[in-house]
Amino acid sequence: MNQENALVRAEDLTRHFVTDLGRTVRAVDNVTFDVLRGETLGLVGESGCGKTTLGRLLCRFQEPTRGKVFFDGVDLTGLGPGELRRFRPRIQMIFQDPLSSLNPHKTAEQIIDPPLRIRRYGTPSAIRDRVTELMQLVGLDASHAPKFPHQFSGGQQQRIAIARALAAQPDFIVADEPVASLDVSIQAQILSLLRRLQKQLRLTVLFISHDLGVVSCVSHRIAVMYLGRIVEIGPAHAVLQRPLHPYTRALLAAVPQIGPEPRSERIRLSGDPPSPMDVPAGCRFHTRCYLKLTSECHTQEPALRELISGHRAACHLAEPVSDPVRYPLNVNGPFPGPIS
């Protein structure tokens, strides 16, 4: 992968936690990937697969057990607190539950302006103007600046959280399940907002979600995680329409579709995902895999292999597929305005 193009690079990134009983939880295990400049990389996986931990590691909200995180060519893991502070404004996060990530005692304005004040953005009136600008940018009425978080609806609260993240003028945003707690109609509003902002401000975004549908409508590329590892990564249309890893195929087949046409594949995984405290030997997915397993699957952990240009999967049995992609994605295409 082109080093120049990567804004964020995770190298062999690993984070293990030790429980009270002395057992090791392998939340993130030897993960290597890039987030390219100006792209939205969707990170999907089921609960407990380590996607949130991975997002936090990239922001260095959490120290890795092993491995490195490069941001704009600089190794963040080697930096002390002072040096790290220079990078903080450039990396921002948006969380799942907006109400718990906003201070209930502060008004919208007081929540959005600290990044500006800390950066010495300008005079108090310049800061106030900038807050107004940011609120308008995320689709909030600036006259609501003196209101408290609980006076806003869930969607509006998430807009405040986004405005706060943007106040620092970041290059990179980690959005961790930003729409999971919202209803579909509000979810669609926030998704189209994030898409517009990403394009308008040329942001690089890691978009974490358990929902493939949501990920599909914001991502340029998609990474699929299973039990602490990335099992597949590639262009969004390729991952969604000709997935290479059996887990990705099962995940796609499990999402109930609207409409009369039946699913293209009917795959049902049996049982629950194994615990990250008890990762199976060999391929992590082999205990739930429905393909004809080989002895290699039981003993050898598969590495991510590039099977088609830019599309990689960690499976011994995966083969390149050359079916044509049925529907081209239009993440980059024109985005019609909302129903007003």
Partner 1 sequence: MSQLLLQVLNLQTRLLTHRGALCPVDGVSLAIRRGETVALVGESGCGKSMTALSLVRLVPRPGRIVSGQVLFDGEDLLLKPDAEMRRIRGRRIGMVFQDPLSTLNPTLRVGHQIEESLRVHGVARGPAARQRSVELLEAMGIPSARERLQSYPHELSGGMRQRVMIAIAVSCEPDLLIADEPTTALDVTLQAQIMDLLARLKAERGLAILLITHDLGVVSQFSDCVAVMYAGQIVEQGPTADLLQNPRHPYTQGLLRCVPRLGRPDLEILPIEGSVPDTVSPPPGCRFAPRCPEAWNRCWTEMPALRPHGEGRTVRCHLYAEPQLLAGEGGME
Q: Which residues bind partner 1 (CB under 8 A)?
A: 46-47, 153, 155, 183-189, 191-192, 210-214, 216-217, 236-237, 240-241, 250-261, 264, 268-273, 327-330, 335-336, 338-340
Q: From residue 309, how far is each of 113, 240, 261, 312 by CA, in Å?
A: 44, 16, 31, 8
- In the complex with partner 1, which residue's Cβ is closer, 175 or 240? 240
- In the complex with partner 1, which residue's Cβ is closer, 30 or 192? 192
Q: What's the closest the beta carbon of residue 60 comes to partner 1, in angstroms?
A: 28
Q: What's the closest the beta carbon of residue 275 comes to partner 1, in angstroms?
A: 9
- In the complex with partner 1, which residue's Cβ is closer, 9 or 237? 237
Distance (Å, rounded) from C-alpha 186 to C-alpha 161? 15
Q: What's the closest the beta carbon of residue 74 comes to partner 1, in angstroms?
A: 35
Q: What's the closest the beta carbon of residue 270 comes to partner 1, in angstroms?
A: 8
Q: What's the closest the beta carbon of residue 119 comes to partner 1, in angstroms?
A: 32
- In the complex with partner 1, which residue's Cβ is closer, 101 or 189? 189
Q: What's the closest the beta carbon of residue 189 comes to partner 1, in angstroms?
A: 4
Q: For residues 68-90, b (16+ Cβ closer than 10 Å) or e, as one string?
A: ebbbeeeebbebeeeeeeebeeb
- In the complex with partner 1, which residue's Cβ is closer, 82 or 328? 328
- In the complex with partner 1, which residue's Cβ is closer, 275 or 299? 275
- In the complex with partner 1, which residue's Cβ is closer, 26 or 237? 237
Encoding tokens for residue 15? 């984070």
Distance (Å, rounded) from C-alpha 145 to C-alpha 128? 10
Q: What's the closest the beta carbon of residue 197 comes to partner 1, in angstroms?
A: 15
Contact between residue 178 and residue 96 where contact means Cβ atoms under 8 Å apart: yes
- In the complex with partner 1, which residue's Cβ is closer, 89 or 139? 139
Of 310, 332, 334, the C-alpha closest to 320 is: 310
- In the complex with partner 1, which residue's Cβ is closer, 84 or 308? 308
Q: From residue 129, how far is each of 19, 110, 171, 231, 314 by CA, in Å?
A: 48, 13, 22, 46, 50
Encoding tokens for residue 54? 């991975």
Distance (Å, rounded) from C-alpha 162 to C-alpha 158? 6
Q: From residue 176, how far is each of 58, 104, 199, 205, 206 by CA, in Å?
A: 12, 21, 19, 10, 8
**What distance lies between CA 81 and its chain's CA centroid?**
25
Of 207, 6, 234, the C-alpha closest to 193 is: 207
Q: What's the closest the beta carbon of residue 267 comes to partner 1, in angstroms?
A: 9
Backbone region of residue 132 per phi and psi (left: phi > 0; alpha: psi in -120 to 50; beta: other values)? alpha
Q: What's the closest the beta carbon of residue 212 comes to partner 1, in angstroms?
A: 6
Q: What pairing do the DSSP bridges indicate for beta strands 204-209 and 172-176?
A: parallel
